[in-house]
Chains A and B, each alone.
Chain A
Amino acid sequence: MKYVTTIDDQSYQIEIITEDEITADGKRHTVDFQSVIGPLVVSLILDSQSYEAYVNPTEAGLEVLLRGQRYLVNVEDERKRLLRDVSGTKAIRRDEIQLKAPMPGLIVAVPVEEGQLVDKGDNLVVLESMKMQNEIKAPREGKVTGVRVNPGDNVDQNQVLVVIN
């Protein structure tokens, strides 16, 4: 099976030939690959070089933590890539951003109100958790179209706090 794998702007053509043989950009490698701790820590012996990494799914792609460095990787098989190229679909840019609670906690302050214009980095919500007050900041500029919490509220992880448009 052939894959096109992308990290930042760099693409790699990777073909899985058998369980223990692959090519990467045309170069042959012997591989021995298995999960070692749960499904998320994997071990790879590539031409006798031993590597171990965490592989986590994230919204931005597969996150690979390898020797203290992080790589965000997108893997597409050749068929999917072809289909996508033909249909010409691109990621739809959504103009609405929902700011969610990164962890459960107590809302201490909401220094913005509906209709207010905010700049990137403006403090939208103060959330107390793990004995610390954390400021939830605007990821980009926009207009506050919804304030879903009030000071004193207890919120769950991923609960929507503020909506920016």
Chain B
Amino acid sequence: MFKKVLIANRGEIAVRIIRACHELGLETVAVYSEADRAALHVRYADQAYLLGPAPARESYLRGDIIIDLAKRSGAGAIHPGYGFLAEREDFARAVQDAGLVFIGPKPSAIAAMGDKAIARATVTAAGIPIVPGTEGEGDLTDDELISIAPKIGFPLLIKATAGGGGKGMREVRGLEEMPGLIQAARREAEAAFGDGNVYLEKLLLNARHIEFQILADDHGNLIHLGERECSLQRRHQKLLEESPSPLLDEKLRQQMGQVACAAARSVDYLNAGTIEFLVDKEHNFYFLEMNTRLQVEHPVTELVTGVDIVKEQIPIAQGQKLRYTQDDIQLNGWAIECRINAEDPFNNFLPSTGFIDQITQPTGPGVRVDSGVYPGLEISPYYDSLISKLICWGETRHDAILRMRRALEEYRILGVRTNIPFHQKIMDSRHFITGQFDTRFVEERFSMDEAEDGVESLPHIAAILATLVVHHQTQQATKIVRQDDRQKRGWKWAGRMERLGE
């Protein structure tokens, strides 16, 4: 049984896994790129090894170096986190071949679910409904895709067979768009996964994205931990998740939970994974895909079930029996997660790069922040734009929303622009509060500029604040001219304030 775990990841998820390992009394090994020397995961781990330069393909994607470092450091297991190597069958196999434990599913399950076309064929064989689209496992040419498209009907989605996280995905409204968008999807898929194969899926309108958390051991026990509502997305990137879903009643939850377990069993699933469904207006549900790894949004499930998913992953990987049966899993209260991204919601959500100057994190009852950032960290173009995850629990959905609203207001991040104002606006949105939204809501029926009813607007306070800032800038500049050189500290401030008035 392993006593030391290497974490093949960075950022908040590496910190999350290190915390779980330390609570279980296991030693940890961090790996890092040249850009991450001062990162929290490097500082929190017991040991740390440099992988290489900042670009992921020269560092966090170097499975060969990572396995080598695991052996050298005496780690008995590797936890891949999410992204990077988490869903690479070849990596999971190489870990096992090196005599190490891969904390996750068997390589065969990653392969079966990792190729989305094969996954669709596999679960169909197990009697599970899938979103209509291309069938079979083979790679299709552009011409084949174009000829099948009208039979599926528009709008439809082009998706990468190796896909995930919305990369290599394009929405097509008509036949004439197909050739260009197939190319765009292939290009992005090739860049993201090194595999440009794509398939087609009908675009379900007004659908909800609802997923089920699975936990399975090596003794034939497999349970689900309820659902997560993930419909609030932009460009197929999840922005906010909650558990439970306001859409599901107990009957539908049981039904979908059983189907989710059957889908996971069809690939002999082991450890933590997620079955994603689309649910239409009539509450018909369709298998979308399985994520064979820990999810970004796992904390909402942890807060309502009381199960520490990451801490359960480790004994499962050590061959122990699952500590829970399906009947043990009860949902208590409501949890919401806001993904705090370095993106500017007032400028079309463009990523914002730069250095984090200062951070004040929200605290208090029912608030959890999973974060890997610190003052001085550069939000670089090399990695994704997730800064942290803010998760709030409340007795009811209403309580959770109110708590999230106050936590967002407490959160201060300086140096890069963040999407916190977007989340604040969502918490005020009548549609969100009443649970009336779907996967298109953010893109089609939501605007940062639109005022919500009943939300107080304080332009006169903003006017007074701005005037005081400008006034103090002028005063300060005058004062500093009179100060002598020993008091240079104020210069930085004066320079900034001068820029304020430009």
Contacts and interface: CB of A to CB of B under 8 A. Distances in A.
Interface of A is mostly: strand
Interface in B321-351: 346-347, 350-351
Contact of A62 (B382, B460, B500): B500
Given A24-B460, A39-B497, A68 B425 contact: yes
A44 B463 CA distance: 12
Contacts of A73: 462-463, 466
A38 B461 contact: no
B469 A68 contact: no
A3 B466 CA distance: 11
A37 B457 contact: no
Contacts of B414: 37-38, 40-41, 54
B502 A16 contact: no
A55 interface: yes
B412 A41 contact: yes
Q: For chain B, which range describes its interface: under 10, 10 to 19, 20 to 34, or 35 or more residues?
A: 35 or more
Interface string A19-51: 000101000010101000111111010100001
A42 B347 CA distance: 23
B471 interface: yes
A65 interface: yes
B470 A62 contact: yes
B468 A16 contact: yes
B481 interface: no
Contacts of B446: none
Contacts of B470: 3, 62, 75, 77
A129 to B, nearest CB: 4
A3 B357 CA distance: 31
Output the residue of A7, A55, A157 with the most chain B CB within 10 A: A55
Contact of A105 (B184, B347, B381, B458): B381
Name B's interface SS. helix
A55 B471 contact: no
B421 A70 contact: yes
A160 interface: no
Interface in A40-90: 40-42, 44, 46, 51, 53-55, 57, 62, 64-71, 73, 75, 77
Given A37-B358, A132-B351, A44 B381 contact: no
Which residue among B425, B466, B468 has the maximum number of chain A CB atoms within 10 Å of its CB?
B466
B501 interface: yes
A139 to B, nearest CB: 11
Interface string B371-394: 000000000011111000000000
B365 interface: no
A44 B465 contact: yes
B192 interface: yes
B206 interface: no
Contacts, number: 156
Interface in B427-465: 427-428, 448, 455-465
Contacts of A122: none
Contact of B457 (A16, A44, A69, A102): A69
B167 interface: yes
Contacts of B502: 57
A103 B463 contact: no
A46 to B, nearest CB: 7
A159 interface: no
Contact of A37 (B412, B471, B497): B412
A68 B381 contact: no
A150 to B, nearest CB: 16
A161 interface: no
B358 A38 contact: yes
A14 interface: yes
B147 interface: no
12 contacts: A1-B474, A33-B468, A37-B360, A37-B412, A39-B496, A40-B414, A44-B465, A62-B500, A70-B421, A70-B448, A73-B466, A102-B350
Interface of A: 1, 3, 5, 7-8, 10, 12, 14, 16, 22, 24, 29, 31, 33, 37-42, 44, 46, 51, 53-55, 57, 62, 64-71, 73, 75, 77, 102-105, 108, 128-134, 157
